[in-house]
Amino acid sequence: MATILKNAVPKAEVTASLGQVCETVAGVIADIRERGDEAVRAYSEKFDKWSPDSFRLSDEEIQKIVASVPQQVIDDIRFVQEQVRTFARHQLASMTEFEVETLPGVKLGQKHIPVQAAGAYIPGGRYPLTASAHMTIVTAKVAGVPRVVACTPPIHGEIPAATVAAAHLAGADEIWLLGGVQAVAAMAVGTDAMQPVNLIAGPGNAYVAEAKRQLFGEIGIDLLAGPTEILVLADADADPFTCAVDLLSQAEHGPDSPAVLISTSREVAEKTIAEVEKLLPSMPTRDFAEPAWRDHGQVHVVDSLDEMYALADDFAFEHVEVLTAEPRLALEKMTQYGALFLGEGTCVSFGDKVIGTNHVLPTRGAARYTGGLWVGKYLKTVTYQEVTDTESQALLGRLCGRASRVELFEGHARSGDVRAAKAAGDALPWAADA
């Protein structure tokens, strides 16, 4: 049995706040459907204090903004994007197209077609999240998406130059300084100024995630990536200071970001809590990290590694950092997570910022049924069929007729009958008067 040294606020409180988010988002989307660009501008003014002549940056404006970014930042962006691009290319290479002959003259095939327009949402209300540009845009371009629309909000009324540079260098075809629900809705339903996209990818706050949820079906989405989560798994040899630093590294994302420790050592758990309390007062991002830890932080002590991995799977968290003597054991023991970070030499922040795997990952238990954003999300895996052998046409036609009539689908049956008749001269008694 696990011992809980620290628990989060009751789920009922979180659920109640999500209800208000749902209602607000629905109203914004409905208004943008009705009033288009006028509504988009109104919400941008209301939420971001931003209302330029055009929300879309011109090529000249982009070049000017990129030129304002320090060269070291540009070099670092290029390096990180190459890591993301390399990993995405390996993912793409793992997706094979094929054609197989299953019966004489019966050819079945599979191919991958990129979506024709994708929206990349790059959060930025609090920080300039350049890494989200790498993850959404680079991956889409590796998949072959011909039109990628990038949306990112201004920060305190200022243009986030590094984010614009990252979006441009990643290959975005359009860059819009637009954020929040208004950006997601505009990309999804389209306005006079913006043509709609087929799929929207990227993380965001609770409002952005809810907008994607409500619009799913009308457009595709990557996944419901809500407030970031970190789960640290630590044995008796883990360093409590490292555990504390890494927990707070994700708590700083926002006041609703869960940070959880599970340890087989009560001593490590208690020392980690103490280290968190030491580190928090001097953190520049304390305004977000402190309420996140206070309201959503948890610490559990378990009796064994097996119990630790089982409890971790119950959480099904986005990021799972394994600080144990044999971290790769988690690859065998765990099945429900967005991404694993194995050993003290690896940290979640590497995945967020620089290492090359995608940081758009499932939250709120979604790891039970999906992984994170990857190159395949931008591809439609489609099939095709061709039957050229007359014996196979007759065989399948007769089978189709029998199978369809079992289900009382006479129209389907007759399509099969016609193939058998044309291929082998079978009678069509139902067509005697045709």
90 is catalytic: no
319 is catalytic: yes
- Sheet of 319-323, strands arranged across: 3-6, 297-301, 259-263, 230-234, 319-323, 339-342
Closest CA to 197 of 209, 205, 185, 211: 185
Give dist(CA 129, CA 161) in Å, integer.
11
Give dist(CA 267, CA 336) in Å, integer.
27
Identified catalytic residue from 134, 253, 319, 359: 319
Identified catalytic residue from 318, 321, 344, 359: 318
Name the token pair of 345.
């030499």
The H-or-E segment that residue 298 falls in is strand 297-301
Contacts of 219 (CB under 8 A, 6+ apart): 119, 187, 188, 196, 197, 198, 199, 200
- List own/partner pairs for 71-80 with CB under 8 A and 24 or more apart: 73/162, 73/165, 74/165, 74/169, 77/130, 77/134, 77/162, 77/165, 77/166, 77/169, 78/169, 79/354, 80/131, 80/134, 80/353, 80/354, 80/356
Report CA Rg, the chain: 26
Could you tell me if 40 and 55 are in contact, meaning their C-beta atoms sit under 8 angstroms apart?
yes
Give the CA distances from residue 377 to residues 113, 162, 360, in Å, rounded to whole numbers and listed in that order.
11, 26, 12
Nearest 5°: the CA angle 17, 23, 25 is 100
Give dist(CA 354, CA 76) in Å, integer.
9
Could you tell me if 165 and 172 are in contact, meaning their C-beta atoms sit under 8 angstroms apart?
no
Name the token pair of 63.
């070049």
Give dist(CA 97, CA 109) in Å, integer.
8
Neighbours of 421 (CB within 10 A): 17
The H-or-E segment that residue 71 falls in is helix 71-93
Give dist(CA 402, CA 398) in Å, integer.
6
The residues pairing with 371 across neighbouring beta strands, listed in sequence order, are none
Active-site amino acid positions: 318-319
